[in-house]
Every structure is written in C-alpha cells, then in structure tokens.
Amino acid sequence: MNINLEKKSSKGILVYFEFFENKIHPVSFELLGEAYRLSEKSNEPVYVVAIGKNVKVIKNALKGYPVKSAYFYETDNYFQPDIYEKGVSDCINKIKPSTVLIGGTAEGRALAPRLAVLYKTGLTADCTELDIDENGNLVQIRPAFGGNIMAKIVTENTRPQFATVREKVMKPIKPVFSYDIEYIIGNINNAKSYMKVINIEKEDTDENSITDSKILVVAGRGVKKKEDLNMLRELAMLLGGKFASSRALVEKGWTTPKEQIGLSGNTVCPEIMITFGVSGTVQFMAGMKTTPNIIAVNTDANARIFEIAHYPICADLYDIVPELIKNLKA
Ligand SMILES: Cc1cc2nc3c(=O)[nH]c(=O)nc-3n(C[C@H](O)[C@H](O)[C@H](O)COP(=O)(O)OP(=O)(O)OC[C@H]3O[C@@H](n4cnc5c(N)ncnc54)[C@H](O)[C@@H]3O)c2cc1C
C-alpha cells in the first residue's frame, strides 16, 4: 500500500524518538532541538513518536520540551522495521506532518527508507544542516558527489519530507518550556512481522571510542611519519583526552577507522578539539563542525579549517607539539 499526503494540508514536524531498554537515544533530543528551530521559522507544531517496551517512561523525559503531542506505541518487540513502520505510519496518518526527522542510526537507517517508499516521497540521509525555504519546503543540506559540493535538496511536491541526521550534528535544546504536552497511546498490537528474531547480541561498549571524549587531539596528513603520531598520542594522554585522525592517515594504514572523524567515519562533538596538519575538507568537517572549541594548527594560512576554528594557529606542528608536551610535563 502506498499513501501520499497532500502538501497543502500537511503541517507539523514529527521527531522519531529512538528508545531501547528504557533509554532514549541522545540523537532524539538533538532532533527535537532542530525541530524546534525549524518550527520557529515555519510556524508549525512539533510532535514526537516513540515505539518500544515500557515506552511511557519517555513522558517524564519530555517535560519542559516544546512538543504539542507525543504518540506512544507499546510493543514487546525489539526494533523490527516492519512493525515499527506500522507505528510511525499510524502516527503520520493521524497528524499529517510536513516533515519527519529520524536519527541517522542503524535503526533510523532501516526505518526511514521504508517510510519514504510507503508515502512515495523523498528522503535525504545524513543531513548536516536543515532549513526552511520561502515556499515552506525543508531544505536538506548534505555533502554530495564525494563531498565536492554541499547539496541543497528539497522535496517539492510530496509529503512528508523525510530526513535523517546523525548523532552530534544538531544541538539539543534545554527543557525550559512550559508546554502542556498531549500524550496519545496508539495501538500496533495486531501488527505482524515477516521477520523472526533468532538471537539478540548487545554491542560491547567501547571505552576507547573517540565519540565520548571531551578532548580530542586530531592528526592529519601534515604529520610526516607514522612514528610522529606517538607525540600526538602522548599529548592526548597528557590532556586527558583521546587521539583521533583524518581519513588521510587511515588510508595510509597509520590509524584505524575507529579513530577516523568525518563523513565516512565518526561524528564527534568534544568540548575541545585540537587539530594538527588537518586541512579541513568538507568530508572531515561534516563529522566535527559543531565542536564548540576548535584549535587548529596548520602551516597554510588559507587552510579551510581556519574558517571554522575558534583558535587558528598558523604554525608548524613540529614546533608546537614538542613545546606543548614539555610545558604540560613541567
Ligand atoms: C566519499 C568520501 C568520503 C570521505 N570521508 C572522509 C572522512 O570521513 N574523513 C576525512 O578526514 N576525510 C574523508 N575523505 C577524504 C577527504 O577528501 C580528504 O582526503 C581528507 O580529509 C584529507 O585529510 P587531511 O586534512 O589530513 O589531509 P590534507 O587535505 O592533505 O591536509 C594536510 C594539511 O596539513 C597541513 N600541513 C602540512 N605540513 C604541516 C605541518 N608541518 N604543520 C602543520 N600543518 C601542516 C597542510 O597545509 C594541509 O592543510 C572522504 C573522501 C571521499 C571522497
């Protein structure tokens, strides 16, 4: 069955809240922040939909957020795309939103395309910016053609407009609003899945993950030899942070994909990032540009990283790093 919503009667921004074992995925609050910013511009209400076991616990977490209504669908099933699709589409059919925002997570990537096909409409994956144009369309911005351009994509004629956004790309908002949120309990009890869950294995939490570190020291192709990375790893350790790199060094085999920041690597938002010999390509910046304090060291005064760096330092990393280490040790 394909359904298509009428453009002129579709209104509202719906945020899919990802929820697993009583924990809400942080990307949900980031999407809520972005939905609010967009709703200020388009003058539309913000809605939430969540599906899972014991889903009503979300009620408390939503207090203070600018949400008109929240739709909850209780199910014992862990994420199964066909069952969850039924819940989200039931909600969409009721509220007829113009836009649906979903996290660019494994779950979101399985769910969003199914919904876009169901509604015969457009989906832009891994948006790095969102806006509303003069015709009320959602402008979905993301790197395209290998990152050589930032494409602005609009779904002109069909609704809803589906977009996924990765974690740490958008900023959450503080729950300081006094909205009287309406809670609606939906029903997907009769939804049948054609999938059979054979086993569930939980991911190991990776203590070395660069995504949770408050401080990141990042190496780029400006580093001349693999052994020189040792001084940057040492600096990261002395600062109580972690070491990361651009893809250039992963491609050389000097660092691992787990350490890579960017479009095809990790999206990060530490409190402080110091980059050494990173030029600041679109693909690299797609994974870190919301970082609130960026210190960039580069010998080229025209390096693009300086456009977003809060503390640009035009210098040779081989002069700076040993001095920093010496001072920190002292
Ligand atoms: C589909 C696709 C996906 C991609 N995904 C990613 C991704 O996720 N992450 C990523 O990083 N890249 C990604 N890339 C690759 C990207 O295009 C660049 O190749 C890469 O980001 C360059 O890394 P870099 O800045 O370290 O190197 P370069 O661009 O070569 O920059 C090196 C910089 O070091 C400076 N420098 C040189 N010597 C010194 C010195 N002694 N001291 C200080 N500065 C110095 C130079 O001035 C220069 O600015 C992707 C590419 C494609 C096509």
- Condensed to tens digits (0 to 9), the pLDDT of residues 159-170 reads 999 999 999 999
232 belongs to a structural domain: yes
Determine whether the shortest distance from the Cβ of 278 to ligand 1 is under 6 A: yes
d(CA 34, ligand 1 centre) in Å: 29
29 belongs to a structural domain: yes
Indicate whether 146 pLDDT > 80: no
Determine whether the shortest distance from the Cβ of 284 to ligand 1 is under 6 A: yes
Are residue 118 and residue 250 in the same domain, yes or no? no
pLDDT digits (tens, 9 = 90+) for 71-115: 999 998 889 999 999 999 999 999 999 999 999 999 999 999 999
Indicate whether 266 pLDDT > 80: yes
Are residue 160 and residue 276 in the same domain, yes or no? no
304 Cβ neighbours under 8 A, 6+ residues apart: 279, 280, 281, 285
d(CA 220, ligand 1 centre) in Å: 6
Integer Cα distance of 128 and 147 in angstroms: 12
- pLDDT range class, residue 202, cuts 50, 70, 90: confident
Are residue 29 and residue 175 in the same domain, yes or no? yes
Are residue 166 and residue 279 in the same domain, yes or no? no
pLDDT digits (tens, 9 = 90+) for 214-256: 999 999 999 999 999 999 999 999 999 999 999 999 999 999 9
Could you give the 3-state DSSP secondary structure of residue 34?
helix
Pocket test for ligand 1, best of 216, 226, 275, 281 (most atoms within 8 A of CB): 281
d(CA 283, ligand 1 centre) in Å: 9
Determine whether the shortest distance from the Cβ of 251 to ligand 1 is under 6 A: no
Are residue 113 and residue 221 in the same domain, yes or no? no
- What is the domain-level CATH number for residue 35? 3.40.50.620
230 belongs to a structural domain: yes
182 belongs to a structural domain: yes
Are residue 154 and residue 286 in the same domain, yes or no? no
Q: What is this structure's pTM?
A: 0.85
89 belongs to a structural domain: yes
Nearest by Cα to 278 from 256, 310, 253, 309: 309
237 belongs to a structural domain: yes
Instruction: Tell me what the pLDDT averaged over the chain comes to.
Output: 94
Are residue 128 and residue 235 in the same domain, yes or no? no
Integer Cα distance of 39 and 132 in angstroms: 9
Nearest CA to ligand 1 atom 47: 300
Report the number of distinct structural domains present in the chain.
2
- pLDDT range class, residue 2, cuts 50, 70, 90: low
- pLDDT range class, residue 309, cuts 50, 70, 90: very high
Are residue 36 and residue 173 in the same domain, yes or no? yes
d(CA 315, ligand 1 centre) in Å: 17
pLDDT computed for residue 8 by the predictor: 81
d(CA 52, ligand 1 centre) in Å: 41
Q: Are 242 and 215 in contact (CB under 8 A)?
A: yes
Integer Cα distance of 10 and 31 in angstroms: 19
45 Cβ neighbours under 8 A, 6+ residues apart: 11, 12, 13, 39, 68, 69
- What is the domain-level CATH number for residue 295? 3.40.50.1220
Determine whether the shortest distance from the Cβ of 318 to ligand 1 is under 6 A: yes
Are residue 23 and residue 123 in the same domain, yes or no? yes
**Residue 214: domain span:** 210-329
